[in-house]
Amino acid sequence: MGDIKSSYELAMERLKDLPSDKEGLRIHRLKDQGKRLLAAMRKDSRMNVAAAFPKGPDEVHVKEGFLEALLANIVLPANEEQMKELSLIRKGFSFIVKREDSMISFFAQLEELFQYYLQNTRNAEESLKDQFTHIIRQKEQMLEKQGMRVNIDVTKLPEFIEQLRTHRREIQRRSEPVLNDLKKSLRQLVW
């Protein structure tokens, strides 16, 4: 069983990565400023992010924070609705990449990976539904012969849900390395 930690211990854990020197702290704050820019861009889609970057030596740290926030938002989508997030991320990258043509190619690859991932997830779900539906229909017919009328929703069965989770984890396990490679190549487009 895990140890119960005091508020002080929890605060110290959060602060352990915070730099202790003034320059390190300044850089940390600048990176946080970059991360907050993405949140501001989410709230106001017409925001001119390029104008929000400070000019001079601080610019690189703010852009690094902005980049970290953008990369953290590139995750395998759970559904088609999350694919819309790509347009915001693409717009954010347009403010910090060196070559627009490379970025377009990158996002085409990213969209292809996401479509592949979603399609495989849908295929796994449909395949499992077919498998479980066949078994459940046989059980329903058997119960019907005994005078009980039952209609079982396959997607609510614990066995179905567990199998689906297993399939999704496997698809995710195969897709994550490709996603991580794409993120690394995107980072190189920025610097």
- Dihedral-angle region of residue 54 (phi above 0 means left; psi in -120 to 50 means alpha; beta otherwise): beta
pTM of the model: 0.76
Q: What is the pLDDT of residue 16?
A: 66
Q: What is the pLDDT of residue 17?
A: 63
Residue type at position 144: E
Cα 142 to Cα 151: distance, rounded to the nearest angstrom: 12
Which of 43, 14, 18, 48 is closest to 31 using CA atoms?
18
Can you list the alpha helix ranges (DSSP code H) found in 44-157?
A: 49-52, 59-72, 85-94, 100-145
Q: What is the pLDDT of residue 133?
A: 87
Q: What is the pLDDT of residue 18?
A: 61
User: Running along the chain, 191 residues long, what does each successive block of 10 average in pLDDT?
Assistant: 71 65 84 92 86 88 93 92 88 86 88 95 93 82 78 84 94 95 88 65
Q: What is the pLDDT of residue 36?
A: 93
